[in-house]
Amino acid sequence: MTARRKLLMVSVGVAGALSLLSVADAKGFRRYLALRQDVDALQVRNQSLAQQNEALRQEINALRKDPAALERAVREELGYVKPGELVFHLESP
């Protein structure tokens, strides 16, 4: 066996051992996969929060510019009633 072939075999053996160690080690490949899943989950949550932010921005603009939207918000969220209006509270069983 030539020296070059021996060096190749040793290199392959060391690479294989390091690969197994990486898979078996809690801080190795398994940790990478777990962190990758966390990153993916955070990206999905980020998108959801960005959509909520955009919806809130649109609502803010509507409340600033549209009197009907402002009246609707005041009535729904604060329970305001115009003078002379009757309010009926219906409860479901």
Q: Mind listing the pLDDT tens digit for each residue in 52-78?
A: 999 999 999 999 999 999 988 888 888
Q: 75: which residues sit within 8 A by CB, 6+ positions away?
A: 81
22-59 pLDDT tens trace: 766 667 777 888 899 999 999 999 999 999 999 999 99
Residues 29, 23 contacting (CB under 8 angstroms)? yes
Q: What is the DSSP letter of 78?
A: H
Domain map (residue ranges) of the chain: 3-78
pTM across the whole model: 0.55
